[in-house]
Structure 1
């Protein structure tokens, strides 16, 4: 795992675990440089990406802080509420039931900023040089769609599904099945879905989301 990816994952982990709440001040750029042995330019790039995604905010002369838009923290007992051992088949059933169904909410409530964040996720996934980085931005794209619904229950459900994606069985299957051709297909389908949402076309968006998920299921589970 490269240091840039490790820094990004560390920050996201602190946000999602609730260790850093809204308004909390992050370590300084210098501290991140020393901890991860990377340049200040690289640190600023990672912080800038997360700021553009709405997770962080920066105040000149003061520092970097957790945004009010940052994901909701897990419960105090450290559990996300997700039952351990969710199978890939269960996860795909849930995704097929839920993701196409929230299209109307996204089209009705999504903002230009939301669609820009989806585009950023597409850009980062396409530029990813490792499977782990691609999978991270792939998951963030789908979570960005959920966040664009601007419904806290939908957001929480998607965070739970991303927790399930982080479990070992899903990751192993995805890594085994992700050929270069399939990765290109996923990237193309993400762009098509983004365009349909941005153009406020519910029928095309639902159809694209469904076909995308059916393709993932075929590749992972062979049905």
Structure 2
């Protein structure tokens, strides 16, 4: 398991087991960096995921604490366990089926604010200095596209898919498969997809979605 995934799983296990209860102050970013051999940006990203899920709170000048709502949120941690059991091959099968299926909903329901968020994800991915950062913004782009369908069930499914992408096996395959040339190609494909969605061109958006996913599958799994 890669260090980022190990950190995330360790923190989640301490929350699920009750070792860390509501109000518990968790170790500092510096301490987590040292213990897991990670850079500050990687640790912040893991903590950001937990904060976004409502599991922790952060107070400037004070520290990071387990949320007072942790007991109510524990069921959501079970979805993390489900995501961890999904193989990269299974995840790609689901992506190939679902992502093209929501394109029509996105074209029908997306707002200018949604398109602005998509563009921001593209910009941040292109500016990323590490593969970890690129993968974060890559995954977030697909999640933002799903949210633009404005269907709460679809949004939850894609959040679960992104949790699966955060697991160690996917990360290892991605690191082995992504060259600078492939990353540049992915970035171009993302821009083409977002442009087709913004122009509400269904045929081109479907073509871009399927082409991008086939490209990722070929590079990641060799088929």
TM-score by length of 1: 0.74
Say which SS state the counterpart of residue 78 (structure 1) adopts.
helix
Structure 1 spans left out of the alignment, 5+ residues = 36-72
Superposed CA RMSD in Å reads 2.1
Match of 1:196 in 2: 196
Structure 1 residues 140 and 203: alpha-carbon distance in aligned structure 2, compared to 1, 3 A threshold: same
- Whether 1:14 aligns to 2:46 is no
User: 2-side partners of 1:122 and 1:7: how far apart?
Assistant: 20
User: 1-side partners of 2:147 and 2:99: how far apart?
Assistant: 12
User: 2-side partners of 1:85 and 1:10: how far apart?
Assistant: 21
By how many angstroms is 1:90 displaced?
0.8
User: 2-side partners of 1:7 and 1:159: how far apart?
Assistant: 19
TM-score by length of 2: 0.74
Q: How many residues align?
A: 178
Match of 1:131 in 2: 131
Larger helix share, 1 or 2: 2
Residue by residue over 1:13-69, the C-alpha shift from the partner in whole angstroms, topping out at 9 and shown as x without a partner, is: 2222x325xxxx8523x457xx8xxxxxxxxxxxxxxxxxxxxxxxxxxxxxxxxxx
- Whether 1:165 aligns to 2:165 is yes
Kept after mapping to 1: 8 A contact 2:91/2:164: yes
Match of 2:78 in 1: 79
- List, as ranges, runs of 4+ consecutive aligned residues in structure 1 with deviation greater than 6 Å: none
Using CA pairs under 8 Å that are at least 6 residues apart, name the structure with larger relative contact order, 1 or 2: 2
28, 31, 40: which one aligns with 1:3 = 40
Kept after mapping to 1: 8 A contact 2:118/2:145: yes
